[in-house]
Amino acid sequence: MADYVFFLKNVLMVSLAMNMGLIWKISYDDEDNITTSIQQKLHFHPLYFNRQNERQHDDDEAYVTKRTQMLASLESVVINLDHGDPTMYETFWKQKGEETTVVTSSWQHISYFSDIKNVCWFLEPGLVSAITRLHKVVGNAVTEGRHIVVGTGSSQLYQAALYALSPPNTSTPMNVVSAAPYYSSYPLMTDYLKSGLHKWAGDAYTFNKEEPYIELVTSPNNPDGFTRQDVVKGDKGILIHDLAYYWPQYTPILSPADYDIMLFTVSKSTGHAGTRIGWALVKDREIAKKMTTFIEINTIGVSKDSQIRAAKILEAVSDSCNQKEAESFFDYSYKLMAERWKKIKAAVNKTQLFSLPNFPQETCSFSGRTFGQLPAFAWLKCEEVDDCESFLRRHKILTRGGKHFGASTKYVRISMLSRESEFNLLTERLPAIIS
């Protein structure tokens, strides 16, 4: 029976991947000219498979009868690991019951306001407690003496920080830099409105202007997973620390981060990307106020429903770390990441075509485990091909090429956070590629 279920799962996986490929093709053919450039940078809209198809095709028998055709189509299936949709933790959350369920009556949370005593007046008090508690439990960031600013995801907070840090009345826009390879959305988010406040100034390693600048430090880094420090040696810099991946399933926690502006998000910490909640820990009150002002103008606050839900989920994560009878969220997610990295390394080692970064082993102060980074993305290098993204695309693996990150086209970024079916297809296909 177990074998039969396993077989069905595999057939379902193939069918899903086929749907994904077909939808990708339909969407791709339909792509418009006007927005192609930005869509390609974002990598969002046309390149994803629809979970609705999963629900439509729930007749197992029908699949069994069609298995011959489906298995024959396996090689033509497109795997989309271009973006980092964090669906891999869904299984953990499915095990959780009422303690993580949110019930909202229609009369609740109807006001724009959450707590006018707070600098960030649209921040729900319950979320403040949950964030503060979780950082204390994990030991990954200092919250004492910080103002919390909530955002519609950390992307909004990044833009809020740029707004807060850029002088309003200068003749030239503020330079914004980050060491390559940098997160591919930073240049776009900085420049899409052609703001007179700030402009993307590229790779921090090559920035040598005698002008004020903002340096983004992403640690662990997206796309390559390395621990980072600031690299510009000027004295006119302001730092923003993007710590979206500074959680114990991705990296050994070494000490509580203690920077001026630190960005976090539930998208990568707990896997709730659809909830669109990020938070900033901000030392300076005036900066926190200006970030709040940005969000006031941009979206008049942040959805209360999602704040309430995020609070419940963060509390559940903290609770899970204190329970001995059940596996904690970070134990579960660490083991899943470790297993996936083991599999992808094994797949890559079967061929001479690719390589992956090596990370030093360090001891995590949270878990006590000693391990190297387990990044949310694999920063894969093609050893023999110049355009790795196109090369993999010809083999039906969609990734994001190095050029989007200010790096060589020999590199691609591959999401490690997909559902199991897609990840398994990847690790089967990589070693099967000959050239």
- DSSP class of residue 408 equals -
- Closest to its own copies by CB, 42 or 239: 42
Size of the site for its own copies (CB under 8 A): 88
Q: Which of residues 140-169 bind its own copies (CB under 8 A)?
A: 152-153, 155-156, 159, 163
* Amino acid letter, 62: A
Contact call for residue 104 and its own copies (CB under 8 A): yes
Contact call for residue 21 and its own copies (CB under 8 A): no
Contact call for residue 339 and its own copies (CB under 8 A): no
Contact call for residue 365 and its own copies (CB under 8 A): no
Contact call for residue 196 and its own copies (CB under 8 A): yes
298, 351, 408, 409: residue in contact with its own copies (rule CB under 8 A) = 298
C-alpha–C-alpha distance, residues 319 and 303, integer Å: 24
C-alpha–C-alpha distance, residues 132 and 143, integer Å: 6
Contact 261, 214 (CB under 8 A): no
Ramachandran class of 103: left when φ > 0, alpha when ψ lies in -120 to 50, beta otherwise: beta
13, 17, 21, 46: residue in contact with its own copies (rule CB under 8 A) = 46
CB of 301 to its own copies, least distance (A): 6
29, 208, 233, 300: residue in contact with its own copies (rule CB under 8 A) = 300
- Closest to its own copies by CB, 52 or 352: 52
The dihedral through the CA atoms of 11, 12, 18, 21 has a sign that is negative
* Amino acid letter, 180: A
C-alpha–C-alpha distance, residues 149 and 143, integer Å: 12
Which range in 66-74, 139-147, 182-190, 370-378 contacts its own copies by CB under 8 A?
Answer: 182-190
Tell the burial category of 53 from Cβ atoms under 10 Å away from its Cβ (0-12, 13-18, 19+). Answer: middle
Q: Which of residues 260-289 bind its own copies (CB under 8 A)?
A: 267, 271-277, 286, 289
Tell the burial category of 288 from Cβ atoms under 10 Å away from its Cβ (0-12, 13-18, 19+). Answer: buried
13, 17, 18, 23: residue in contact with its own copies (rule CB under 8 A) = 23
77, 253, 302, 407: residue in contact with its own copies (rule CB under 8 A) = 302
